[in-house]
Chains A and B, each alone.
Chain A
């Protein structure tokens, strides 16, 4: 089973993502702040990361940059999720190497579809 890491300080959002992804036969790991997220990512080496931007301790941009510039982790696809929808934020997301940018509120089905696409 493919491993997915969900990093978001909004527990409710993590819960719902976990529910639909598990229903779609993925194994989910959850972290509720940037620090735990980065540690877990290096520990379990997931097949895909769903990453929130605005988080305590280490923000999503930084995590993305740290992973994407490291040969060991750079092939892990990252889906950035955020409530910020300004164009410049999207640009920053792309620059940090994130593979996809999803803005809140999002459709759960859409996220599942995206995840399946990346892990085909």
Chain B
């Protein structure tokens, strides 16, 4: 029923209005005591207040009413010929004593409608302000999420965000990702007793197990005895009781795909709305992505540290190989040298045979150590090159004189076919010697008796260089002149499918002859890397049982120095 309060000390008027409003089923009352007026309106504001303008102190009464409720409707009963300008400021409407009953009731009805409309507007305004505040809280929280990769901070921001948007009484956050063991973070308005904390722990463990059971049975059950608790209390003077469990609550896992980072439960004395629930779920979901990124970031850092450690270990290993293997090898070699010199004892032919066998193997071993060292140095970018103008025919000359004796003992002929007047190239002549020695040694190793090995050199333009289908794609030559060297043998050759791997590490081709030939299989990969350091390239043409041709090219002009 619409409540109407009439403020007047004129009993005649009171009686008149009483009869009019009662007749039309309004809840009508009247007052003339100023003090009583204030008490009544403070307790319950009437829907409409009619003030007799002849009443005392109407300005003050007006002010008081407006201070209690700005939207209260005040209608003045006034003399039609005399409206005070001052009163116009406060009035919602006027009625006069000589107005018809219908007109009075219409005025009241119009004002009631206006009042209702105003109230609705004010309510929706309030809702709008609430939503805006919540949206701001969400926005603020998500921008804080994107600003850090620290998992503990992310969890803290999530709780703060929920506090801002939902103003909880208590949150129980189980975090599986911030420390080595699971942590229960309690953010509470009031102090919690030990018994209550135990109960919350149990509740959280049950919650966790319920969401985790579906995917991972048994293996990741949470142990309540080891669960660490971190407690933040806002007002420690007051205490929560077990009544807390009668509060309204919401629960959400913090997860992304298969990754479960924890879960969060929130309690509030008053009940949550559907909007609260959406907001809560949104925040819990939003924190999962940055937690995932933080986890990945952490993994990345850890992997990096592991790699750095491995790299360090590798360098240390190389230095050990370099020193610890070479030193005893030197002693063995020296002892053999002394024995073979015959200065200690006279040797019979058998002793000499076995001593030279030992010597050969010592030399082989030091060759392997040198190869390993070279390769790791090149791979670590620590190989030193001394680039200088070099004539390739000089290098070929050295290699020929060093290896023709070896070839001869195997019954092979080593010949050279150098082109005259070749321009100098910028190269490290020792490294080129190493490459060529390796190629020719291989040729000697894999060629049967009475055959020929030929080293040839020439000047060619890149457009005249033909590279077979196996290497075409991996070798890119500049459009310029190159010095080309070819080592041709009549050995066992290499099958097409094996050609591609000829320059891979440890990739000696498996067959009886190569096994007999020995070696680490590091020579060709080293040659390849050394030539690449010269901006050159190496490849091979071969036919099984007919022989191989190894080519390498180095550009005539380079920016090396």
User: Which residues of A are interface residues toward B (Cβ below 8 A)?
Assistant: 10, 12-13, 16-17, 19-20, 23, 54, 83-87, 104-109
Contacts and interface: CB of A to CB of B under 8 A. Distances in A.
Contacts of A10: 327, 330-331
Contacts, number: 52
Given A87-B384, A106-B330, A16 B338 contact: yes
B196 interface: no
User: Closest 9 A-B residue pairs measured CB to CB?
Assistant: A16-B334, A12-B331, A105-B330, A83-B326, A83-B323, A104-B330, A87-B384, A104-B326, A108-B337
B334 A13 contact: yes
A19 B329 CA distance: 17
Contact of B322 (A12, A85, A109): A85
Interface of B: 322-323, 326-331, 333-335, 337-338, 343, 366, 373, 382, 384
Given A84-B322, A84-B323, A23 B330 contact: no
6 contacts: A16-B335, A17-B334, A20-B337, A23-B343, A83-B327, A107-B337
A19 B338 contact: yes
Nearest to A52: B327
Greatest chain A CB density within 10 A among B322, B327, B337 is at: B327
A54 B326 CA distance: 13
B326 A105 contact: yes
A51 B177 CA distance: 58
Contact of A105 (B333, B343, B373, B384): B333
A102 to B, nearest CB: 10
A83 to B, nearest CB: 4
Contacts of B373: 85
Contacts of A104: 326-327, 329-330
Nearest to A19: B338
Nearest to B365: A105
Given A84-B322, A85-B322, A105-B366, A13 B327 contact: yes
Nearest to B328: A12
Given A13-B334, A16-B338, A105 B329 contact: yes
Contacts of A85: 322, 373
B330 A13 contact: yes
Contacts of A105: 326, 329-330, 333, 366
Contacts of A13: 327, 330-331, 334
Given A23-B343, A87-B384, A105-B330, 7 more contacts: A10-B331, A19-B343, A20-B334, A20-B343, A83-B327, A84-B322, A85-B322
A20 to B, nearest CB: 7
A85 B343 CA distance: 31
B326 A108 contact: no
Contacts of B331: 10, 12-13, 16
Contacts of B335: 12, 16
A109 B330 CA distance: 13
Contacts of B328: 12
A86 B322 CA distance: 10
B65 to A, nearest CB: 95
A108 B327 CA distance: 14
Contacts of B384: 86-87
Contacts of A86: 382, 384
Nearest to B373: A85
Contacts of A23: 343
B322 A83 contact: yes
A89 to B, nearest CB: 10
Nearest to B377: A86
Contact of B323 (A16, A17, A54, A107): A54
Contacts of A54: 323
**Which of A12, A84, A106, A107 has most B Cβ within 10 Å?**
A12
A107 B384 CA distance: 24
Given A23-B343, A87-B384, A108 B334 contact: yes
A81 to B, nearest CB: 9
A108 B334 CA distance: 6
B399 to A, nearest CB: 21
B330 A20 contact: no
A17 B338 CA distance: 10
A104 B366 CA distance: 10
A85 B299 CA distance: 38
A42 B491 CA distance: 61
Nearest to B333: A105
A6 B502 CA distance: 46
